[in-house]
A and B are shown apart, each in its own frame.
Chain A
Amino acid sequence: MSDTSPGPDEVRHVARLARVAISEEEAEQFAGQFADILGYFETLDEVPEVERDTDLVNVMREDEIRDSLEQEDALANAPESEDGYFKGPNVS
C-alpha cells in the first residue's frame, strides 16, 4: 500500500487531466488498485543513484520536400469533415 496514493477524489482529478471520463464506481475501484500498484512502485526508492551513459545522438536528415498523404486520404478516417478540414466539437 502507498502512503500517498490518490483517493477517489484525486483519481477523478487525474482522470479530468487525462481527459478520460470515469464513473463513481471506477473512481473507487481504481483508487483501491492504485494504492497497491503505487505502493509497489515506491520500492524504486531503493534504487541507488546511477550515473547515466549519455549515448544519445541526434539523427538529422536533409530538410527536403517529400510526398505526403493526399488530403482525401488524411480525412478518410475522420468522423466529420467539411471543406477539406477536420470538423471537431465546440472549443469553449
Chain B
Amino acid sequence: MSGNGTIFITEETIEGEADGPLAGKSVAVKDNISTEGIRTTCGSAMLEEYVPPYDATVVTKLKGAGATIVGKANMDEFGMGTTTETSAFGATENPVAEGRVPGGSSGGSAAAVAAGDADLALGTDTGGSIRCPAAFCGVVGIKPTYGLVSRYGLVAYANSLEQIGPIAHSVEEAAELLDVIAGPDEHDATTREEGADANYANATDGDVDGLDIGVPTELVEGADEGVVEQFWAALDDLESQGATVHEVSLPSVEHAVEAYYVIAMSEASSNLARYDGVRYGHSGGYDGNWNEVFSEAREEAFGDEVKRRILLGTYALSAGYHDKYYKKAQDARAWVKQDFDSAFEDVDVLASPTMPTPPFELGESLDDPLQMYLADANTVPVNLANLPAISVPAGETDGLPVGVQFIGPKFGEKQVIRTGSALE
C-alpha cells in the first residue's frame, strides 16, 4: 500500500540479473503478468494465493536488461474495467487527481509511475487498458502492434486483442522499455520478427516535418469540450513543427465498441473456464458434485464485472445467438481493419483524444456498465485492427490530465513514437 489507495497488490523487490539497458531502473509489473515465485492475482480473489512456477517472457527480458521489479501493480479484475475499481484488493486512486480514478485496467501501473513509486511500468492493453490510465494519470503509454511483444506468461483475458506494453514519464523512456520487451518468442507463436533488434528509442527525435496526420472526425465528435480544446492545441503545436493535419472519416469505428465487447466477452467466457479451483485458484472447499462445486467456487471468487462478462460471452456464443452477435462482431472487426488500411494510404498517423472525458470520480461509473463500456470508444478500434498506438499527455482541462492518442499502421511503432516525442 502507498499513499494513494492500493497501487501495488504485492510489493516485492526482484533484482535484475545483469548490467543491461535498464540497470538502475525500477519497474512496476501489472499483476496479470506471471512472476516466478511471486504471487500473481489478476486483481481477483480467484487467484489470491496463486504463485506462478515460471516467469512471463517479458519478465525474463526485464531481469536480463538489469531492471529491478518493485511490485505487482493493481488492476481491474482480469483486466475487465476502465477505472481500476473492480480489483478484489480495492480501488486505486489517481495520484494526480484526488478523488478520481486512475483509469483502467492498468491503473496501478500508471499510478505507480505518476506517483513516483516506479520509473517505468508494464501494463496490458485489450481495449485501451494502457492508453486510458496513461491519459488519466498524465503519463505516456504504448499499445504495441499485435504480435510485437510476447504474451507468454500473460494471464489471458481476450487473446486476439491484448498486448503487453510500456508506461513511463517520457516517450523516450517508454520506447526504451519497448526495445527491451519487443521481439519474437518461441513460446508464443503469435509473435512476429518485426520487433527483433528494435531501436524505438532512436525514433524519439521529434521530427514531424512533412508528417501527414489524419483526424477521424468520428473520434472527436463525442468528446468533452475541454478535452477537444487540448487536443486541437496539441495538433496546432505539431503543425507549427511542419506537420499537416487533415480530417478523415472512419465510418466503421461507430460500431467498434459493440464489436470489441462481443469479441472480448466471448473470448473471456472461454478463457475463464479454466478456473475450476482444482489445479489452482480458489476452491471454496465444497464437497459433492463437480458441476456444483465448480459453480459455487466461481460464484464466491469472481467479482460482478467478471461474472457479467462470462455470462454475456456465454450467451453471445450460444446456439441461436452466435450469428447474431459473434459473427456480426467479426464482420465489424474486418470492416474496422479495412477502414484503417485505406486511411493509411493517405496519412502517416491518425490522431484522436485518448479518452473522451477527463478522469471520472471514484465510484461514478460502477453502477452502469454500459456507460463505462462507451468510454472506450476511441481506444478499442486500435485493438480490433491490431495496430500500434501511443497516448501522450496534452495538458489539462479544469486541472485534470488530458491525453492525445496517435495511431500508426501495423508495426509503425516508430511513426507513433516520433509523433509523440514532438509534443514533449
Contact = CB atoms under 8 A, between A and B. Distances in A.
Interface of A: 6, 11, 14-22, 26, 30, 33-34, 36-38, 40-53, 59, 61, 69, 73-74, 76-80, 86-92
A77 B51 contact: yes
B280 A77 contact: yes
Contact of A44 (B258, B290, B308, B369): B258
Contacts of A53: 334, 337-338
Contact of B311 (A18, A49, A77, A90): A18
Contacts of A80: 278, 283
B328 interface: yes
A10 to B, nearest CB: 8
A30 B311 CA distance: 9
Interface centre among B299, B315, B318 (most CB of A within 10 A): B315
B370 A86 contact: no
Contacts, number: 149
A37 B325 contact: no
A6 B316 CA distance: 11
Contact of A79 (B283, B291, B330, B369): B283
Contacts of B311: 11, 14-15, 18, 20, 30, 34
A18 B370 contact: no
A43 B354 CA distance: 24
Interface string B53-64: 110000000000
B288 A90 contact: yes
B315 A46 contact: no
B40 to A, nearest CB: 10
B262 interface: yes
A21 B259 CA distance: 27
Contacts of B345: none
B421 to A, nearest CB: 31
A29 B258 CA distance: 21
Interface residues of B, number: 62
Interface in B285-343: 285-296, 298-299, 302, 304, 307-308, 310-312, 314-316, 318, 324-325, 328-332, 334-335, 337-338
B53 A73 contact: yes
Interface in B341-372: 369-370
For the residues of B in contact with A, the DSSP-based class is helix
Given A74-B53, A77-B279, A18 B369 contact: no
Contact of A78 (B261, B279, B291, B369): B279
A50 B335 contact: yes
A50 B331 CA distance: 6
A20 B278 contact: no
B308 A40 contact: no
Contact of B291 (A6, A19, A30, A45): A19
A73 B209 CA distance: 55
Contact of A37 (B190, B304, B330, B373): B373
B290 A20 contact: no
Given A22-B299, A73-B53, 7 more contacts: A18-B310, A19-B294, A33-B369, A44-B331, A50-B338, A76-B51, A90-B288
A38 to B, nearest CB: 8
A33 B308 contact: yes
Contact of B258 (A6, A17, A40): A40
Complex A-B, nearest 10 residue pairs according to Cβ-Cβ distance, in ascending order: A77-B280, A21-B299, A44-B328, A73-B53, A59-B189, A79-B283, A21-B295, A89-B293, A18-B314, A52-B334
Contacts of B411: none
Interface centre among B53, B292, B302 (most CB of A within 10 A): B53
Nearest to A78: B279
B386 to A, nearest CB: 10
Contacts of A6: 315
A78 to B, nearest CB: 6
A71 to B, nearest CB: 11
Given A19-B273, A30-B308, A36-B370, A44 B295 contact: no
Contacts of A17: 314, 318
Contact of B325 (A16, A44, A74, A90): A44
13 contacts: A17-B314, A17-B318, A19-B294, A20-B311, A22-B299, A37-B312, A37-B369, A44-B332, A47-B252, A50-B335, A52-B330, A88-B290, A92-B290
A33 B310 contact: no
B315 A20 contact: no
Contacts of B328: 44-45, 47
A19 B298 contact: yes
A79 B291 CA distance: 17
